[in-house]
Amino acid sequence: MSTESSSTRQLVDRDLEAATSIPSRFSSTFVNHVSHNQRAQSTPLELTTGTGYHIYTSLIIPQILSATQEVIIVTCFWAASATRDALHNALLELSAKAVAAQTKISVHICFSTYSLARNMLLPTSKKGQNYKPSKWRKLGLPRSSRIPGLVLRVTRKFDWPFGIMHSKYVVIDRKLAILPSCNVSWERWLEAAVRIQGPAVAHLLKFHAWFWENGASLKPLPLDEGSGGASTLNGRTSALESSVQTTILPSPHTPSLLPPHLRPSTLLHQLPCLPSRPPSHPPTPLLTTTSHLLSTAQHSIFLTTPNVTAPSVLALLRNALSPPRKLDVTIWTNTSLMTLEQLKLGKLTIHYFDDPSPTRPGPGTRNARSVEAASHGKSSTLLDRNKETTPIRLHAKITIVDGDKLLLGSCNMDAASWGTSQELGILMESRELVDLLLERELREKLVP
């Protein structure tokens, strides 16, 4: 299936929009349906949080160096940074390993942007832009002569004007996948990542081939005895080595010349003379499942997100906070976006990760009229000492519903992620995994 002849909707079940019965409680059958039967038992091997640099150097790069045949790196932003420098060095080391083994290792780097100006002036074709070896140095990559053990491809895709490819993942030897929230960039933000093996990896590769290989099947790899580093654990990460129900949830790019809030149909229904209509979003597997999780939650919702501005999300949260549901809703976000202050009802707790206030509030209330502001200030000495590993803003995208359903990935709770950009998420159904994340990974990093 070629990219030109296919549309975003081809990854979305055609009868989804015609469905007349949406479950009032969480339904695994519904999730399996909207994801095209992507729900299966897979094994999370590591779960970690930290800055993007920390996640790359402690989790992703060690797995890259364990590869014996193939590495796929997909990110939204590819920018000059300590993280990119670390990847540069990792490619040199991986090449030396391949040369010593008298083999070749395939590496495919895929990204959407490395500068706003390039996005606006030089969008790519539907098939993407493939960089010649002569251009690699400008991208912070080694010269081809320095990596003789690698078969490197570098591809960029951006669809003007609102066509960012926001998905982020790494696949090692088609056996192991890592889904981080971080870009390859200088941003010192708190991120989250999961390392997983099992059927979820094959489901992810199916999506990867559809988009980055333009519908072509991935070439078979020779038989391999390696495990892709599946048994390697880092001391600062949390492990869960039992299988859980997982679902890979893509949200394909929705072509648009205007952002959702400026589309004529949206503006028209804001006129007082016309009836308003509820917010909508593209019926992609990820967005439909996220909406399902928020609308069927029975007890609690926990979110971390850089921002909360998507009308659909605000409507879902308002419904969760209102009678008769009146759920406990906890949101960690950043101070720059105050849309959440509109939710003046229910059992809502809002924490601001980047609040520089030197004092902490006393015991808070769950009413939004007395929003808690969590001090997360850092001394300048500490920031200088741990420049690349001390997060100063929140970028992790975590949704936890009823303490037993965990959604991680690239999707923010903003209008771009819920309107036009390509996103990717993974749903894991496991109370043990949720407890592991909250108690071991986030307790010290998200201190109210």
Tens digits of residue pLDDT in 19-52: 335 678 999 999 999 999 999 999 999 999 999 9
Beta bridge mates, 165: 422
pTM for the predicted model, two decimal places: 0.84
Residue 360 burial (10 A CB sphere; 0-12, 13-18, 19+): middle
Which has the minimum average pLDDT: 234-243, 392-401, 416-425? 234-243
**What Cα–Cα distance (Å) separates residue 336 from each residue in 170, 302, 313, 339, 421?**
30, 20, 18, 9, 21
Residues of the chain with CATH 3.30.870.10: 43-244, 247-441
Which pair of tokens denotes residue 4? 């030109």
Beta bridge mates, 129: 156
Is 247-441 a domain of CATH 1.10.260.30? no
Rounded to 5 degrees, φ, ψ at 9 are: -65, -15
- Which positions ≥6 away from 388 have C-beta within 8 Å? 51, 53, 54, 82, 188
In this prediction, residue 128 carries a pLDDT of 86
State how far Cα 18 lies from the chain centre.
Answer: 28
**What Cα–Cα distance (Å) separates residue 359 from each residue in 71, 185, 189, 352?**
46, 31, 22, 13
Percentage of the chain modeled with pLDDT above 90: 58
Between CA 12 and CA 35 the distance in angstroms is: 8
CATH architecture of the domain covering 43-244: 2-Layer Sandwich (3.30)
Which has the minimum average pLDDT: 162-171, 199-208, 258-267, 314-323? 258-267
Residue 338 burial (10 A CB sphere; 0-12, 13-18, 19+): middle
Find, among 202, 197, 199, 204, the residue nearest to 229 by Cα.
197
How would residue 235 be classed by pLDDT, with cut points 50, 70 and 90?
A: very low
Between CA 296 and CA 316 the distance in angstroms is: 10
Residue 200 burial (10 A CB sphere; 0-12, 13-18, 19+): buried
Tell me the range of 4-8, 327-331, 336-340, 365-369 where mean pLDDT is highest.
327-331
Find, among 31, 7, 29, 397, the residue nearest to 248 by Cα.
31
Instruction: Say yes or no to pLDDT of 265 above 50.
Output: yes
